[in-house]
């Protein structure tokens, strides 16, 4: 554990630092050793060695360290078992520089491929080629991990590195939720004569209840507005209770900015899939295929000419999809019928109706 302090130089801070540091160092092992020493003092050496299985020599060593530290309990901390002499890497600095050069030429290439690229260089220089594991350790030991990111130019012509966002809340493995608690969202793009139209889709992986709405573009403000309208009816069902809702989406720009801000405002969880991992959002991907094959292909002209009329037809199709059409995954039952038969808590939902109307354009 390394602790760095920023208030060095303030009067009395050194003492406060020592007290705080010592408080952190009281581990469970220290407490155990202190208890053994107290047992020794009370019941004698023979009983202690028999009860705790600690040798006589170890007990006297602990007692000496504790006494010399003026009974400071931190003196009983286990000492580091790191060898005094450790092996140092004997890889030539020239090889390290070549690895960095290759990682720049072929950005972030792996150790296995690096081994084969490095082999001709080492043979020409008369050097021993490091193994794949050694190459991996050299890369891991570098302060920057020898990683290189692409650059972009902003509106003012300045070159800026493309930052990689690593703090996204990814979907947990084997996530289990109740009906209407997790909604997987995605967008469908259709292009005709250079015009693009998008359909925001939304499905509950548990019950397969689905919603969709056509939007003029995939800008985050449109997806956020559509999402707010779509989930308004869902959240109003439990408006008197604490409602935990989570949204699962890919890393598209349409699910950032206003979309993500809306979820934060409503205290909803936003799960992101890993890049190039459509299987993490498999239920929505399958629904996208269904809605295109059974509806969008037959009303594509309306999608580009009259969004409002398209959404009216889409709403009628969704009613049938959720209440009439049987699903393979639900043992040939509709989503609503499946909920009524398998989730008793859903019976009270259908008595609450809230008429909702909105226009995207």
CATH number of the domain where residue 279 is located: 3.30.420.10
Residue 177 lies in a domain: no
Helix/strand number for the chain, H first, E second: 13, 7
Residue 232 has pLDDT above 90, yes or no: no
Residue 232 lies in a domain: yes
pLDDT in tens, 73-98: 878 888 888 888 888 888 889 999 99
Among the candidates 164, 190, 221, a domain finishes at 164
**251 and 341 share one domain:** yes
**273 and 143 share one domain:** no
Residue 24 lies in a domain: yes
- Among the residue ranges 100-114, 192-206, 337-351, the one predicted with the least confidence is 337-351
**97 and 63 share one domain:** no
Residue 31: the pLDDT is: 86
**240 and 125 share one domain:** no
**48 and 191 share one domain:** no
Residue 243 has pLDDT above 60, yes or no: no
- Total tally of structural domains belonging to the chain: 3
Residue 63 lies in a domain: yes
Residue 255 has pLDDT above 50, yes or no: yes
What lies within 8 Å, CB to CB, of 28 at 6+ separation is none
Residue 357 lies in a domain: no
Residue 352 has pLDDT above 70, yes or no: no
Residue 85 lies in a domain: no
pLDDT in tens, 149-169: 777 777 777 776 666 555 788
**197 and 321 share one domain:** yes
Residue 236: the pLDDT is: 57
**198 and 340 share one domain:** yes
Residue 24 has pLDDT above 80, yes or no: no
Rg (CA), the chain: 32
pLDDT in tens, 42-63: 999 999 999 999 999 999 999 9
| Cα distance between residue 26 and residue 203, in whole Å | 51
Q: How confident is the model at residue 355 (pLDDT cuts 50, 70, 90)?
A: very low
**95 and 60 share one domain:** no
Give the CA count within 13 Å in the CB-facing half-sphere of 230: 32
As beta bridge partners, residue 212 has: 201
Residue 359 lies in a domain: no
Residue 258 has pLDDT above 60, yes or no: yes
- Which whole-number Å values give the CA distances from 111 to 118, 135, 139, 144, in the listed order? 10, 6, 8, 16
Residue 6: the pLDDT is: 57
Residue 360 lies in a domain: no
- Which whole-number Å values give the CA distances from 341 to 205, 207, 345, in the listed order? 17, 11, 10
Residue 237: the pLDDT is: 53
Length of the chain: 361
Nearest to 275 by CA among 252, 253, 293, 296: 252
Range of the domain at 154: 90-164
Residue 119: the pLDDT is: 93
pLDDT in tens, 270-302: 999 988 888 999 999 999 999 999 999 999 999
Q: For the residues 127-147, what does the mean pLDDT come to? A: 91
| Cα distance between residue 111 and residue 116, in whole Å | 9
Residue 241: the pLDDT is: 47
**70 and 145 share one domain:** no
Q: For the residues 313-325, what does the mean pLDDT come to? A: 93
Residue 173 has pLDDT above 80, yes or no: yes
User: How high does pLDDT run on average in the chain?
Assistant: 83
**333 and 204 share one domain:** yes
CB 213 within 8 A of CB 311: yes
**118 and 258 share one domain:** no
Give this prediction's pTM. Answer: 0.56
Among the candidates 113, 132, 164, a domain finishes at 164
Strand pairing class (269-272; 210-215): unpaired
Q: How confident is the model at residue 1 (pLDDT cuts 50, 70, 90)?
A: very low
CB 120 within 8 A of CB 102: no
More confident residue, 240 or 334: 334
**120 and 261 share one domain:** no
């Amino acid at each position: 554990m390394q602790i760095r302090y920023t208030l060095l130089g303030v009067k009395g801070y050194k003492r406060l630092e020592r007290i705080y540091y010592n408080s952190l160092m009281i581990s469970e092992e220290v407490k155990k050793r202190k208890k053994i020493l107290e047992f020794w003092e009370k019941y004698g050496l023979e009983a202690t060695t028999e009860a705790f299985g600690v040798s006589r020599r170890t007990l006297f060593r602990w007692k000496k360290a504790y006494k010399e530290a003026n009974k400071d309990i931190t003196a009983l901390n286990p000492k580091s078992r790191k060898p005094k002499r450790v092996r140092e890497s004997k890889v030539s600095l020239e090889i390290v520089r070549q690895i960095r050069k290759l990682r720049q030429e072929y950005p972030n290439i792996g150790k296995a491929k690096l081994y084969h690229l490095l082999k001709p260089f080492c043979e020409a220089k008369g050097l021993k080629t490091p193994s794949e594991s050694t190459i991996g350790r050299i890369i891991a030991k570098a302060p920057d991990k020898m990683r290189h990111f692409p650059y972009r130019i902003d509106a003012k012509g300045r070159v800026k590195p493309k930052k990689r966002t690593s703090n996204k809340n990814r979907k947990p493995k084997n996530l289990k939720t109740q009906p209407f608690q997790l909604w997987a969202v995605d967008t469908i793009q259709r292009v005709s004569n250079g015009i693009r139209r998008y359909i925001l889709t939304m499905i509950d992986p548990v019950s397969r209840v689905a919603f969709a709405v056509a939007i003029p573009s995939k800008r985050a403000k449109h997806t956020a507005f559509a999402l707010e309208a779509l989930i308004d009816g869902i959240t109003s069902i439990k408006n008197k209770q604490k409602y935990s809702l989570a949204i699962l989406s890919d890393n598209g720009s349409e699910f950032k900015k206003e979309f993500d801000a809306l979820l934060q405002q409503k205290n909803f969880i936003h799960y992101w899939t890993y890049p190039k991992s459509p299987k993490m959002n498999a239920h929505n991907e399958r629904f996208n295929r269904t809605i295109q094959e059974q509806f969008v292909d037959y009303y594509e002209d309306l999608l580009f000419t009259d969004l409002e009329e398209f959404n009216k037809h889409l709403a009628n199709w969704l009613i049938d999809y959720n209440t009439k059409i049987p699903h393979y995954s639900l043992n040939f039952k509709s989503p609503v019928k499946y909920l009524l038969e398998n989730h008793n808590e859903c019976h009270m939902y259908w008595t609450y109706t809230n008429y909702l109307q909105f226009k995207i354009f």
